[in-house]
Amino acid sequence: MDLFEYARSKTQDKESPLAARLRPQTLEEIVGQEHILGKETLLYRAIAADKLSSVIFYGPPGTGKTTIAKVIANTTKAEFTQINATIAGKKDMEEVVAAAKETKGMYGKRTILFIDEIHRFNKGQQDFLLPYVEDGTVVLIGATTENPYFEVNPALISRSIIFELKTLGSEDIKKLILRALKSEKGLGGYKAAIDDDALEFLADLSEGDARRALNAIELGVMTTERGDDGLIHITLPVAQECIQKRVLRYDKSGDNHYDTISAFIKSMRGSDPDAALYYLAKMITAGESVTFIARRIMICASEDVGMADPNALNVAVSASLAVERIGMPEAQIILAEAAVYVATAPKSNASYLGIAEAMSVVGETGNLPVPTHLMDSHYKGAAKLGHGIGYQYAHDFPHHYVDQQYLPDAIKDRVFFRPGENGYENKIREYMELIHGKNE
């Protein structure tokens, strides 16, 4: 490195975004992701022993995919090379592979190739890597915000271990913000302090994205005047400006949180799409987890719509998957569609009541024996025990139905599912009346 390059690197260290300056150098400095980076986990041991095989890191933005790759770069004895799939082409990969072959042949060193945004590579670019990953010319580290099982070549998937990174928790984000304010590499020289409510607000509104939280606190420190006490105070109003969100009277750990989600569910149950959209907007604006909202819609689709419109659950589940893949802000449109569908669908709680009653009966009666004609008869000796004898195959009868006992003897006449007259349940009721009437 010459004098000018040294000067440039030092300037870059000072001028780089806060998230880049604070990027951990060791495994111990990484915050969160204990499920894959705890000291007893496979990934931790592989990195610590410098025995890493090809891996793909998958997770939302700001959860640490690049950070883990940089830690590997700092700790490995292998040659570490990085390219970004958004700007790299086949020529770049050819150069990396050629250098990797030379390094392996001349020095016996492995080459670790980190490809950020690997899902941006087309099939041909991904196929090019296959033989070199397979023969060990390069150890691949891929990072993607998209589900790799949809976006990455299956052959690459089969040669890699997938590690899914989770959205950082609120406490993780708080820890990073406080570290940024104290660290000399971060904002320690500015003598800044943050109020508890501002810290809580930024941690919640960052939605698990460490980069977003650090960008906000850096902006706050850089644009806030020093107080009479010599400190820069990051207050709640400052935090609101930095992350461009207003504070609503909505505490995600308090009563108002439960009141709002309760109103949202009851509005869908009560077939009021306008109220459902209002409470949805309130939760989104207040920084509620979109995955939490999606879970509530799925529950409502099953509990309150049920068999009156079985497609409601399909819509809700599809919305949940789409929200995970797309993220905010577009996720709010997907949640709105699902909430409106559930709110305007015909309603029935027959399935909910049915399983509740069945669970109660199981609790009261214990392990009632299965009727012998329904027992498994696909093994040698079953017939000697009487298992399966007398069973009638429904498809051999009109309407593919035959009247025979399925419940245990002690409760053979119990009824758990009582279809109503709303939506599809009306057709179910008519069909059940038909087949029972035809077979009387």
Q: What CATH number labels 33-164?
A: 3.40.50.300
Where is pLDDT greater, at 80 or 204?
80
* Bridge partners, 56 (sequence order): 142, 162
Where is pLDDT greater, at 193 or 328?
193
- From the options 1.10.3710, 1.10.3470, 1.10.12, 2.60.120, give the CATH code of 366-438: 1.10.3710
Task: Give me the mean pLDDT over the 292-307 stretch.
Answer: 93
Q: Do domains 170-243 and 255-344 have the same CATH topology?
A: no
How far apart are the C-alpha atoms of 320 and 295, rounded to whole Å? 7
Q: What is the pLDDT of residue 9?
A: 47
Confidence of residue 201 (pLDDT cuts 50, 70, 90): confident
> Domain 255-344, what fold?
Zinc Finger, Delta Prime; domain 3 (1.20.272)
Establish how many alpha carbons lie within 13 A of residue 316's alpha carbon, considering only the half-sphere containing its beta carbon: 27
Domain map (residue ranges) of the chain: 33-164, 170-243, 255-344, 366-438
Q: Is the dihedral of CA 177, 183, 184, 188 positive or negative?
A: positive
Task: Give me the mean pLDDT over the 156-176 stretch.
Answer: 91
Cis peptide bond upstream of 329, omega within 30 = yes
Give the torsion through C-alpha atoms of 426, 430, 431, 434, to 10 deg: 170
Which residue from 22, 400, 423 is spatially nearest to 211, judged by alpha carbons? Answer: 22
Tens-digit pLDDT profile for residues 91-132: 999 999 999 999 999 988 999 999 999 998 988 889 999 999
Q: What is the pLDDT of residue 55?
A: 94
* Bridge partners, 58 (sequence order): 144, 164
Task: Give me the mean pLDDT over the 267-278 stretch.
Answer: 93
Residue 288 has pLDDT above 70, yes or no: yes
Q: What CATH number labels 170-243?
A: 1.10.8.60
